[in-house]
Structure 1
Amino acid sequence: MNTESPVIDYRLSVKSQSQHLFEVTMTVPDLDSESVTVCLPAWIPGSYMIRDFARNIITFEASTSDGEFLEVSKLDKQSWKITTSGRAFTLSYTVYAFDLSVRSAFINDEFAFCNGTSVFLAVKGHEQLPCRLQIIPPTHLSLWHVETSMPVDNIRESDACYLSKDYDELIDHPIFIGRCSRASFMVGDVEFVLLFSGSTQVDVSKISTDLVPICEHHLKLFSRPYPMQRYVFMTLLSDSGYGGLEHRSSTALLYPRFDLPLTGEPVRNSDTYTAFLSLCSHELFHTWHVKRIKPSVMIKPDLSAEVYTDQLWIYEGFTSFYDDVTLARAGVISGEKYLELVGQNLTRLQQTAGRNKQSVAESSFDAWTKFYKQDASATNNIVSYYNKGGIIALGLDLLLRRRSNNEVTLDNVMQILWRDYGLEQSGTQDNVIAEVCNSEFGIDITDYLQSVVYGTEDVPLQHWLSDIGIEMNFRPRQGKDDKGGTPPASAPHRHQLGASVKNAEAGVTVLQVREGLAACQAGIQINDRLVAFNGYVVNDALLQRLLDACQQSHAQVTVIREGRLLNLELPILSSREDVCYLTISNPDAFKQWLGRP
């Protein structure tokens, strides 16, 4: 990096914990211009929704080095013009930070966290200039630690100073300041850092041990050169939150603190802990597949407005396949547990009527307005490019093996994508998967992609899973918490309401109505309070019990809707067999597919 070129200096500090305020000062050198425009992104890469981060800027002023205040004009919701008359200047502004998520900024009594897209203004037209950052932790809180994957400014290393080659790099390293538990481990010559916010006694040693083979898998799959020398798993612990967002050398995670193993507990791998390891696997995989291999429109995206692509099924979908299968390949979970997770994903997809209306290519393109802005009817109208995209990836692996006599796998496709698009970050086109399979391996998969990616057909896994010793099975739902993935353990529901409900003070509140099922046919609507079934006041358990015991073709249900009492006729319909589980018919073939001894 040529540090003799002009550098934009930033200084970040916690101004107020109780008021959740960051203070930022930004020193801009003389850029030989009468005025300078600064702006803040409206969205953060990896999360496809306009969030208007600039709305959290509270105070804003600009001055010269001798204290003269400069004229500031606001141009739009996220841009300001500073009249500089060709002089260097300093901006001082405060940012409200109280969004406990991986996308924005947050301050409480335990820690402060931010993404650069929420706090660092860009100098428009000069985003290529190096950016130097100094982070100032609260001086009265001696236990507060500073962590980021941003490159250290070796000249001022002791002062928590960092140097980025340009603005894009500055905003691609989340920042943590606060109390935490922390550990690190090496995989090859890459250092991995684990950080958990606050003082919860999370078993960092166990988590480190379990992450080692996951990290090894990803590094081995893509091989050298590695895109990072140091990687940070930055986890914000909360009561119930969940999320993950990828960055070039780190990930920001949000996870319920007591869903993780605690120091001193007996060793056990709960489903919630497995989900955490899968989340870590998912976000680490993005280091290659999203942060380097990416759609061409995302190489230099306009962060002030939506950027559309049909390809999110490739990026989030393929990653959703690799996050879980990596755990099985690495021996962190059993092959049977992996099949349970696949069965749950298939169940979720089967119970989504929207898969028959929207393709995953359309879902990718409409992520900004549909996937990221879901309402209670979303399951009837859209499909998840994460969920179906992961099933498409599994199907593609099986199809490639079948059409190549087991010589070509999805791993080979990922390695070509890394070689041809990731190393140079050249950007992929919409047809990249078909093009790679055809040009590199001589396999035409156009028919497959047309039907399951650009069309709305289901992935025909039942025809291919037998190749790896697996059988697909379906059964009715066994209870409201039945996620699928396992064989029947008890009697299933005989009859299906076709709506999600929760207990209310009297009766149940309808949260979701599934298209075409009994509740929909009866005219039950979202937010109705269903108070009685055939004259009996119900709760959720009694409602299902009466529904299963009903011997008639119809029942009378009473609902309250916007203050009106309505009596509706509910058809009694047999439960659909839309819960999926997978069984092993050939253990050797399945182990060979997983790559397990």
Structure 2
Amino acid sequence: MKKFKLPALVYLILFFMNVNTGSAAGLAKISYTVSFPEAQAHYVEVEMNISGLAQPSLEVKMPVWAPGSYLVREFAKNIESLNVSANGKAVPALKTNKNTWKINTAGLSAVTVKYKVYAFELSVRTSFIDVSHAFLSTTGIFLFPKGMLNQPSTITIKPYKDWNKVSTSLEMVKGDVFTRTAPNYDILYDSPLEIGTQDIFDFDVANTHYEVAMYGGGNYDKERLKKDMAKIIEAEAAVYGENPNKHYTFIVHNKQRNGGGLEHLSSTVLGASRDGYTNERIYHGFLGLVAHEHFHLWNVKRLRPIALGPFDYDNENYTTNLWIAEGFTAYYQNIILRYAGLSNTEEFLGDMVSTINTVENQPGTKVQPLSESSFDAWIKGYRPNENSYNTGISYYDKGAVVAMLLDLEIINSSNGKYSLNDVMKYMYDTYYKGLKRGYTDAEFKAGFEKFAGKKLTDFYAKYINGLDAVDYNKYLGYAGYKLTDELAAGNEPTLGVYTNTRNAITTVLRNSAGWVDGLNVGDVITNIDDTPVTDLAAVIKGKKVGDKIMVTVNRDGQNYKIPVTLKRNDNVKYSFTELPNATPQQLAVRKKWLKL
């Protein structure tokens, strides 16, 4: 691991100063005090003090989205009772749009802005407060003064009752756990805070100190987690040749059922099932989540699409490259477990074939190109409806598949000299460390081509910007594998709908029997051929492809009889199969790919 020549925090300050110019009040001093007098009602009270002003007016704004979660969430909707004062007197604050308040500061050198924020959505991207803890997702808590994104700030926390711990990547001030500082707003908004009585354990990996904050209890084994998380961290740092953090914080919210994660520059927030740690399948999934979010500290938080920094906190930040930022990270979460010895070959291939099946069984893969999926994340990816399965594809899933294809292409074309790892390190060194900026689509394509030793224009036209069916066996053949569809010879009938436990239709698949003959989402299937339905799957399984059946549905309180002609179930169920008599070249590619 290479040593960081400058202290990490200094480097980051210089980086963000370079990319995020401010326009006003270079001498302004900004501080916040957060308190929780009504924690039981899910409120935080924020006092924002701004001094050193020398301007006739000031605008304070609330971000509308959280970086890493590509949806405008309108955090200002949770603000109430905002008032401004100076010298003990009220100062008018005019709300000029959904997330902006304008303050008349003529003749004033300092103002105090007080407001309350309602927080009752425990997710990795939103804030939650009750008497047990406070999770502050900072983009939804702290207003910022327009034109001062480069300004440092100090946060003083007044804890509720017996709360005695703060877990965050923000630095302490004079060793005070309840006083934190941020060098600029990009750092503040990338540093969530967990405040309460959470269980904390820590460990070191090389020169980086790791803290894990567990909220909600659970049957986790701290010593096992320390060892397994350390293996993941070491394997990921090996890809890039360094760990740019001196300390890193995992915030884990353990609930009865939970999942998901959100990456940050020097921390991450994870959702986990509190009693799932002793279930090997669930534990494997949790380690994959750890690997995914921690890998982001390089891929997207530092090595990033050029559109994702400096951030525009008022509007969408569009990029066609989330398939690299997220999809590649989804691929690495699987292969890193293999590198770290936390999964075997069969488990890794099983994870990948599961992703392939997800992609290939989604009708939207034939409708939405991968690059468009990324660009439209703001209006489609995070706003799914009943027809999304038919119209779109996940840049996580298909991006992971594309990463696998490119990894195999690079290994094979370079005769085992290079892999996708070399591309990621080269791009990190060149654009984040060298040029200190994000990359363009063309620049990353050139990075792939550099290590593949060939043009990938056709690959991009087919699989990134186009809708061609993926030639899996071409790429898997490089490593002596092929895909076998276990359902290829089947002739199973299907309605082409998904239903819930009440037999209510939740999805109608494009071009299926239900699609063609007019079944609707929301229809409750009550009878097939006048026979009451208790087990829909069993009834359909007893029919044949081409059978014409009469489906009775309850639609908006009225019964309808709809004739439907059953079609063949075209879903695939792929599995990996080794090619017989694999060549030395194929075995060499396999060895390089899977680190055998």
CA distance in 2, matches of 1:340, 1:590: 19
* Structure 1 match to 2:244: 227
Question: Which residue is 1:596 aligned to?
Answer: 595
1:523 matched to 2:518? The reply is: yes
CA deviation map 1:510-551 (0-9, x unaligned): 111111122222311101001111221112xx2222212225
AA aligned opposite 1:243: G
Q: Which amino acid aligns with 2:501?
A: N
- 2:297 maps to 287
Distance across 2 between alignment mates of 1:593 and 1:496: 42
- Where does 1:321-400 land on structure 2 (aligned, <5 Å)? 321-400=331-410
Query: What's the CA shift for 1:212?
Result: 1.3
Q: Is 1:182 matched up with 2:200? A: yes
Separation in 1, partners of 2:131, 2:576: 47
Is the alpha carbon distance of 1:383 and 1:199 closer, same or farther for their aligned partners in structure 2, counting shifts above 3 Å?
closer
Residue in structure 2 matched with residue 450 of structure 1 by the alignment: 461
Which residue type is aligned with residue 509 of structure 1? A
Distance of 2:286 and 2:451 partners within structure 1: 35
Paired residue total: 565
Distance change (3 Å), C-alpha of 1:438 and 1:476: closer
Q: What letter corresponds to residue 108 of structure 2 in structure 1?
A: G
Q: Distance in 1 between matches of 2:34 and 2:497?
A: 49
Residues in 1 aligned to 2:486 and 2:131: alpha-carbon distance in whole angstroms: 49
Which string of whole-angstrom CA distances, capped at 9 and with x for unpartnered residues, describes residues 539-581 of structure 1? 2xx2222212225722221111112211122223333251222
* Residue 145 (str. 1) matches residue 165 (str. 2): yes
Alignment of 1:486-505 (within 5 A): 494-504=492-502
Are the equivalent residues in 2 in contact too, given 1:235–1:254 (CA < 8 A)? Answer: yes
TM-score by length of 1: 0.91
* Matching residue of 2:270: 253
Q: 1:212 aligns with which of 218, 230, 250?
A: 230
Q: Which runs of 5+ in 2 are unaligned?
A: 1-9, 14-25
1:590, distance to aligned residue in structure 2 (A): 7.4
Q: Distance in 2 between matches of 1:392 and 1:98?
A: 38
- Structure 2 residue 54 is matched with structure 1 residue 32: yes
Identity among equivalent positions (%) equals 29
Partners of 1:20 and 1:526 in 2: CA distance: 36
* CA RMSD after TM alignment: 2.1
* Conservation of the 8 A alpha-carbon contact between 1:395 and 1:460: no
Aligned to 1:241: 258
- SS class of match (2:58): strand
Is this contact kept in 2: 1:476–1:575, CA < 8 A?
Answer: no
Question: Counterpart of 2:19?
Answer: none
Q: Please give the secondary structure, in 2, of the residue aligned with 1:277.
A: helix
Structure 1 distance, partners of 2:405, 2:361, is: 19
Q: Distance in 1 between matches of 2:171 and 2:530?
A: 68
Q: Distance in 1 between matches of 2:508 and 2:418?
A: 43
Q: Which residue identity does 2:117 align to in structure 1? A: V
The equivalent residue for 2:150 is 128
Q: CA deviation at 1:114?
A: 1.1
1:167 is matched by which residue type in structure 2?
Answer: Y
**Aligned: 1:90 with 2:112:** yes
Question: Which residue number in structure 1 is paired with residue 16 of structure 2?
Answer: none
1:393: how far off? Answer: 0.6
Q: What is the Cα deviation at residue 397 of structure 1? A: 0.9
Residues 213-247 of structure 1, C-alpha deviations (whole Å, 9 max, x = no match): 111011111013x3211111111122223221110
- Aligned-partner SS, 1:388: helix
Alignment partner of 1:69 is 2:90: yes
Per the alignment, residue 481 of structure 1 pairs with none
The residue identity in structure 1 corresponding to 2:43 is L
Structure 1: which 5+ residue stretches go unaligned?
Answer: 262-267, 478-490
Displacement of 1:27 in angstroms is 1.0
- Which residue identity lines up with residue 34 of structure 1 in the other structure? P
- Evaluate the alpha carbon distance shift between residue 88 and residue 130 of structure 1 in structure 2; reply closer, same or farther with a 3 A threshold: same
Residue 440 of structure 1 and its aligned partner are, at CA, apart by: 5.9
2:446 is aligned with 1:435: yes
Which residue does 1:514 correspond to in 2? 509
Q: Deviations over 1:76-104 (max 9, x none)?
A: 11111122223212111111011111111
Contact 1:36 1:123 (8 Å CA) reproduced? yes
Q: Which moved more, 1:48-57 or 1:197-206?
A: 197-206
What is the alpha-carbon distance in structure 1 between the residues aligned to residue 538 and residue 362 of structure 2?
A: 25
Q: CA deviation at 1:47?
A: 0.8
Distance 1:328 1:159, change over 3 A: closer
**How far apart are 1:588 and its partner, in Å?**
5.6
| 1:498 positional shift | 1.4
Match of 2:421 in 1: 411
Q: Equivalent residue for 1:109?
A: 131
Cα offset for 1:373? Answer: 0.8
Q: Which amino acid aligns with 1:502?
A: N
Check the 8 A contact 2:217/2:254 in 1, yes or no: no
Question: What's 2:577 paired with?
Answer: 583
Cα deviation, residue 295, structure 1: 1.4
